[in-house]
A and B are shown apart, each in its own frame.
Chain A
Amino acid sequence: MLYYLLRRLLMAVPVMFLIALIVFMLLRLTPGDPAQAIAGDQASPEQIAAIRDSLGLDAPLATQFTTWIGNMLRGDFGHSLISQRPVLEMIGQRIGPTLALATVAMVLTVVISLPLGVVAARRHGGLVDRLVMSLSVLGFSVPIFVIGYVLIGIFAVHLKWFPVQGYRPLAEGFWPFLHRIFLPGLALSLIYIALVSRMTRAAMLEVLREDYIRTARAKGLSERVILFRHALRNAAIPILTVVGTGFAMMISGVVVTETVFNVPGLGRLVVDAVLARDYPLIQAIILLTAGTYVVINLLIDISYALTDPRIRYQ
């Protein structure tokens, strides 16, 4: 297991390098000019040329790439072309709200969708099942910005239970933090609640037909023990896969949620950076998310082995 872990981590290195190269090339091939973003749309070509020159954007691409990789290996992720601030500092300013948002969404997802999925599977074909399935489908057939506006309209503007926008860091106290992050977290989680409860139901249905469940029933174990101790554990793989891949999809959901609720997080930062062609910033954020995926997927693969004894890693 330890050997497997090490090998996986080692393999991540070339993958990250490959991502770095792809992103770098993709960005340089994309039209757009950070110098123009600095100078504004009324600037003359001379002004833009002077800024381009000072940014070192006219150096050969290979040189730019090796400089960037070299600096990064020394821990220097560079400075934003637009704001001239260190990239790591900018990411540091924005990562908190996004982590908070993702965490709240994930907690809500697990707390709500696992029981829903299990109950739906248990009452397969019944009213509860149909209700859960239909509602869950609604969760991912409505665009997240519509969900956001509706939630704000009902719970913030009319009922005034929650603030309409904004973010408070956890450092300012847990309740103010939760008060502001709850609605965006809920908006973001609906799609995952839908997804995970469907997957839970599907996987549970499959497992519930297995022999050992029948055996467990025959032994006279209580339904609750059967559902949550035996069945859910064995249904875990597809559920985990969906949770893991769901994290990947969060990026686009996070971007929109952060926009609608005005949460100053990474999602907005990366979109702004893309639209302004802030190369070092985009590159760093993508490498960061890539690294996160690699780690999360590693954790999921490990949890496969832990939850399903049939899978062994050599």
Chain B
Amino acid sequence: MTTPLNPALPRRRLAGNLPHWTVILSLAILAAALAMAILAPQLANFEPTRINAAMRLQPASETYWLGTDSFGRDLYSRIIHGARVSLVVGAGVAAGAILIGLPLGLLAGWFRGLDAVLMRLMDGMMAIPGILLAIAIVALTKAGLVTVIIAIMIPEIPQVVRLVRSRVLAARAEPYVEAAQLLGTPAPRLILRHLLPATIAPLIVQATYIYASAILTEAALSFLGVGIGTEIPTWGNIMAEGRLYFAMRPWLVFWPAIVLSLCILSINLLGDALRDRLDPKMKGRAD
């Protein structure tokens, strides 16, 4: 058994090794996206909401770098501004789902009595379609960023809980946990010191996935007509609005899709790299 008795986060390797080029590229792309979001007013050529009925569906030109949408709004400026909302939606959903899901998953994995109740509740939560939640929440409160984040987040929570719980279940059976238990380690300490670390690596993979999925879910909600209103540009609703013109002006969809995909790609590659480094079991196999 090479597994250390205490698989806490290793402190080695984070310094010293040069990161792989994909990591550098991913970081560069994300930095660019972040810059886009922060500097949107400076980078954009037009107000993202400025309508020009005479200039609808224009192809790319010197004035309109990426062309215009069906309102005659500048696509480039909208994508730049869309970065703000889309990045926030992704981050908000991923952070929220993990902040809520992680403790629930730990509890479910550890306290067997709680497990059954909690997991059935999670099954139930997953069963309520996100679109219904979105409509209900948006209608009950007010259409906006926070409501959409909450609506997308809720169905993600059970997935986090299930994942964490499955990891805890597996870890509980490990000899070092059994040993710690026999030694009388109190439950909170046991959970935090031995079980929590076992969940980190898969959670990072899951978080990147949730981030990606949240941005896409936002797009799907826009596609179905229940997303964030068009006055606030998001990559999702830009694509959803452009889809009607897909056969004629595919770039209305492709440009936001490319930007969105690049970001998600980067987040995932970073997640992978992080995972490979953080997981002690990967020692000796990393590139």
Contacts and interface: CB of A to CB of B under 8 A. Distances in A.
Q: Do A and B come from one complex?
A: yes
Interface in B230-287: 236, 239-240, 243, 246-247, 253-254, 257, 260-261, 263-265, 268-269, 272, 275, 279, 281-282, 285-287
Interface string A244-258: 110011011101100
Interface residues of A, number: 73
Nearest to A13: B120
Contacts of A223: none
Interface residues of B, number: 69
Interface string A14-32: 1110110011001101111
A15 B217 CA distance: 26
Interface string A106-145: 0000000000000000001100001001100110111111
B216 A140 contact: yes
A144 B216 CA distance: 8
A51 interface: no
B135 A202 contact: no
A23 B282 CA distance: 45
A145 B166 contact: no
B281 A251 contact: no
B107 interface: no
B131 interface: yes
Given A11-B116, A145-B223, A311-B173, A241 B163 contact: yes
B285 A205 contact: yes
Contacts of B127: 19, 248, 286-287, 289-294
Consensus secondary structure, chain B interface? helix
A89 interface: no
A165 B129 CA distance: 25
A211 interface: yes
B123 A293 contact: yes
A12 B167 CA distance: 23
Interface in A143-163: 143-146, 149, 153
Interface string A208-248: 11010000000000000000000000000110010011001
Given A241-B163, A311-B169, A143 B216 contact: yes
B264 to A, nearest CB: 4
A310 interface: yes
A245 B167 CA distance: 15
B219 interface: yes
B85 interface: no
A255 B220 CA distance: 9
Contact of A310 (B173, B216, B253): B173
A237 B129 contact: no
Contact of B166 (A18, A32, A146, A241): A241
Given A141-B212, A141-B264, A256-B224, A297 B279 contact: no
B263 to A, nearest CB: 8
In the complex, the 9 A-B pairs of residues with the closest C-beta atoms, listed nearest first: A290-B127, A141-B264, A125-B287, A141-B261, A15-B120, A310-B173, A248-B126, A19-B124, A245-B159
Given A145-B239, A149-B246, 4 more contacts: A11-B117, A198-B205, A249-B155, A293-B126
7 contacts: A26-B132, A141-B265, A144-B220, A202-B275, A252-B220, A294-B127, A311-B173
